[in-house]
Structure 1
Amino acid sequence: MASAGIVNIRRDVDDKFYRYRMPLLLTKIEGKGNGIKTVVPNMSDVARALSRPPTYPTKFFGCELGAQTSFDEKNDRYIVNGAHDASRLRELLDTFIDKFVLCRSCKNPETDLIILKSGRNEDVVRDCKACGERTDVDMKHKLVTFILKNPPKNPKKSKKGAKGEANGNGGGVHASAPSVPGEENGSASGADSDDELTKRIKAEAADLSTETKLANQDWSADTSPEAVKARIKALESKVGGLSLTPAGGLGDDDGSDDDVNSPYAQFGRWVEENKVEEGVGAVQIYQKAQEFGVEKKHKAVFTLVQALFTVEVVKEIDTYKALLAKMITSEKHQKALLGGIERLVGFDHPELISTVPKILMALYQVDVLEEDVVTQWGTHSSKKYVDRDTSKKVRKASEPFLKWLEEADDDESEDE
């Protein structure tokens, strides 16, 4: 089967870092005369990216075109009778996505189809995992009858890892790219192939001249010991006089926590000094982390949170979601992320304490924070990152979000 390109699930969104992606629908005309038919060879991959059974969009095509459809799930063949070009079916797929995938409220594709029963009546609704809304589908559409006869198997609520770990899970949780042959899908191979951020890094790196690279490395006009100490002192004053790493350390053997020349301290200073003046983006920040050799270290996540985020942290999480997904790849990374948030709202911006639920929700929605990790964090205060009183205060503020997680789980249990 020919490999398909990758496109945004919402094709009206022209954003390379839009996290909801799917393979471009492919078609193949077979037969002739009255036996001519259109096969969709990658329907399973497309449907998996949409968290829908492949029979649903195939049947939708048949309803819209007035054509017979057939499915051979065992052999992965999905067929629409008649000759239909790819562009027409792609347009119909956009319509299917709008009617049966996108949340009507927030237009996010991270939804499950569920069937609600009330007496003899059954309603098909889209249950949005992003905004929590449940919105009806067009119950008059012919596909609804098919859905009611072939109900979806709803996945359990899960956020299995940041980005790569969530890919290829058969639906339920959307990842930044679908499971497509030849594409990164977070499989057991662990191959760190070209995901969105990596592709952009390579593209921009190819355009960098030697002069530009040297300019990027020369990030400080004055590198004397006195100037370095002055900058780190000014930066540390913004986080309550504490260093960029917690007193106990995070377990990475790359310089002591008090060393102003450790790679983490240098990385943090660079981000702090360049994020506003130079307006650096995710690619430049990740390249700088690579230069310091800390791009895979969980301590670097802790440093990044303090150096990068401001009072606009909720908006900034969305802006830098690709960077966060690239750097947060394990439970340790997530714990370091939460530790950085504790420092951010506990010392740097205490006025943000009341917005902790929004911050956690933003991190949860961009798939860098798992439900189990944040739940455990919320029930156990610690003095690893901040003092005990501040730790308790931040966790107390997080209770609305933790309650929302618990209630969402209860709702799903009832639905099942």
Structure 2
Amino acid sequence: MTTASREHIRWFRNTAPYINAHRGKTFVLMIGGEVAQHDNFYYIIHDIALLNSLGIRLVLVHGNRPQIDERLQQAGIENKFHQDIRITDSVAMPHVADAAGALRAQIEAGLSMGLPNSPMQGASIRVCSGNFITAKPIGVVDGVDFQHTGRVRRMDIAGISQQLAAGSIVLLSPLGYSPTGEIFNLALEDIAVHCAAAINADKLLLFGSAAGLINSEGKLLRQIAVGDMANLKFYDKEQARLAATAQRACLAGVERCQVISYQDDCAMLEELFTHDGSGTLVATDDYEQLRTATIDDVGGIIELIEPLEQQGVLLKRSRELLETEIKQFRLLERDGRILACAALYPYPDEGCGEVACVITHPEYRGGKRGQRLLRELEAEARRLGLDRVFILTTQTAHWFIEQGFEERSRDDLPAKKQNLYNLQRKSKVFFKSLS
């Protein structure tokens, strides 16, 4: 087997935790009309088929803005907008319905492929579309009648769930129907947010032209907590629209939204099946969870500290000792993987506590995770009534000095700690006041 082949096998092996985590979960994919016009759409269809084969329940919500624009232009009909919302009159409505129907057929045809020697071979995907959306008219806003442009009134949750349970991919077009039999042109984003929230989707995936969400300075934002979005500015309307949609979905109860590129081949698979992904994650809270360690985390902590123990940076701890002291540890975790850890050992009689084992995984250094853990331990020390924390270190003194620690004599250590001081290591002692 060649080196390249082995790399592919190793990559496949590393996807196993994500395959297990995603199986049986429900994802909503928001696919704008621009996506269907791009050459990479052919490969996105293949990736959707792969997700389906891995047991992921999928709802595809497609848009058709450029397709409507083309039809109206060909028919010599003016495009009318107010507040960036299309006004759909009785003349435009047939073209809107035609655009939706044609694109729905294109997607269904793509998912029906089964060519030999292709990723679609043997897929046998069932696609279900229908009147899952009940709509209502927008009505008159600022004196402007939006006529056949509407909003989602409710989703047929039972109907969608039934089709997903049967293994079908549910395909939602940007059309809704009223109890009186009227057809309404709906916004793609409105459907995606309502659907993801209504069916309790685990993820909403949003496709855009860029790699993810890019701020006004041109930087790709790898992850954003919803609470931080109010202070962000984005470099174009598409970015702002995607960010607003992700924010709405999270506030409606969808825990995670991921913004990815429809132009980059494999972007969706990279986002879903690798540690760092390819785009931007928008979450209701911090993507990396800070929590107290449990006995099940001992193996992950050992994985972090062993290399540093071998280098002499840390004093060696046995598994038995870690199991005894596990409640002293705090962790930063992402998708079940421990990225960083730190521990606090209180000495309440002396009003101080020891901070120890502040470690970040080598692949995740530079993200201020150590500072975040240190702040958490300092806050915990205050809650315990301690007014100082200290550390013993041989090689990381400068980092702790940058965090406000000052060097002291080992005579300042609590008596119990002085008795355990290792004279051969000659660790330096640093204290930090919490007052």
TM-score of the superposition, structure 2-length normalised? 0.25
- Determine which structure has the larger strand proportion and give its number: 2
TM-score by length of 1: 0.26
User: Quick check: which has more Rg, 1 or 2?
Assistant: 2
Please identify which structure carries the higher helix content. 1
